Every structure is written in C-alpha cells, then in structure tokens.
Amino acid sequence: MSTGTSKGVLLGTLLLTLSACEDFAGLNLAGTGEGFALSGANLAGGTVKLMPPPGFCVDKRSVRDSFAIMARCDTLGGQHTADAPLAIITATTVAVDGAAQIDTSAFEGTSETVLQRTEDGALAVVQVTGAPPSPDMRGTYWRGAAQVGNQVLGLAAYEDANSTALDQLGQSLLTQTVERTQEQSVVAAVVPPDNSATSPPKPSGNGFFAGLFE
C-alpha cells in the first residue's frame, strides 16, 4: 500500500499503515524455498531499491510495489551465510511529502510494549513485545523506520518462537538494511529501474514463509 501524507507527518500515523501491511494470516512456515532469492527489489515505483543485510535475500514471491519480505538466502534457495541469523525481515513503504518526523516516541501508546529504543540519525529502532504476524514467531521482535527519498521505509525483524538471536542482532539487521537501501536508492533515482527480475508470480498456497525457519 502507498498513500500520500502531509509534510512533517508523525511516524505514529505511518506505523498504523505500515503494520497493516504485515497480514500473514494463513501463511505456512513449513516447507523449503527453492530459487526464490533476489539480491534486491524495486519498491515504490522503483524509487526505493530495497537491499537486504548481508546473508539475506528478498523473496521474489513476496514483492509488491510497497512491500517485500527478506529471509536468510539459503532458505530461499540461495547461498548459506553462517553469520546470518535465521530470521524474517519485512519492508513496507509509505509515500510522504517533504520530511517525515521520525522518532521512537511514536511507538508509545501502541499495542506493543517497547523494551529498548535507539534513534540513530534518521533511523528510529525499537525492540518490542507484541503479537507477531504468525504464532510460529517469537513475541519479541524489532521495528524500525527511516526516510528513503519521498518514502518512509518501515522494517520489522522476526525470528522463530524458540530463538533469541535477534536480542543482539536485530538492531544491526535493520540498520544495515536502511543504510544499504538508502545508498542504492540514490543510484535507482538516476538509473531507470528494471523490474523484470522482481515481478512476482501469485503466491502459492504454501505462503511466503515456506521453509524460512527450518
């Protein structure tokens, strides 16, 4: 989804829109992903070049104009990276006019409880407890938001219900995603995007998350 908003819009309003895109009801975590790994994806009409952190790839089945899912590359049929945790990262974009007001105070008053927060320049990151998109996911996860061009990029990092790896690595994953995406999106703004590699087929009955936690 992608909607225009006024200059100086509060992140709290955007978070409601970003979270609404993370509706994974009925998606199956069982199975194996084969040949679905992309090194990046064009979002928001090509103005945002989404770049995963090292060891992660974009699941080409998930790519929409304003939404994509990233997972460890080997779970999508790509090369295994030992240092990458077994996790899922979601990305959503929302259009803004001018500069968006982004800070961690926007997470106050939501249905999630903030455990820790960091504001690193234009990037706001929080670790929260709440209701994850799937019962197979841990109830403690990470959220972040940053502006990329005329879009606010919302990110969330989830892991298996029995894992705690993201307690230490979650913030780093979101920070790296934002930094790499901002860098490549500058190039994407100059070079016309080639969306041929990121035009996904309709999602199968097994859902986007087949094998991502195996």
3-state secondary structure (DSSP) of residue 18: helix
Band the pLDDT of 31: cuts 50, 70, 90: very low
**Residue range 150-166, pLDDT digits in tens:** 999 999 999 999 999 99
Q: For residue 42, give the nearest of 198, 202, 208 by alpha carbon.
A: 198
The pLDDT score that the predictor gives to residue 206 is 39
Tokens standing for residue 31? 């199975």
What does pLDDT average to over the chain?
76
The residue-averaged pLDDT of 181-201 equals 61
Distances (CA, A) of 56 to 74, 100, 119, 150, 186: 8, 28, 24, 25, 21
Full-model pTM: 0.77
Tell me the C-alpha distance between 74 and 152, whole Å: 29
Band the pLDDT of 102: cuts 50, 70, 90: confident
b/e sequence 83-103, b meaning 16+ C-beta within 10 Å: ebbbbbbbbbbbbbeeebbbe
Distances (CA, A) of 51 to 24, 44, 71, 164: 22, 14, 12, 24
The pLDDT score that the predictor gives to residue 97 is 83
Q: Which residues contact 121 (CB under 8 A, 6 or more apart)?
A: none
List of domains in the chain: 11-23+33-190 (3.40.1000)
Sign of CA dihedral 155, 161, 163, 164: positive
Q: Which tops the pLDDT comparison, 187 or 172?
A: 172
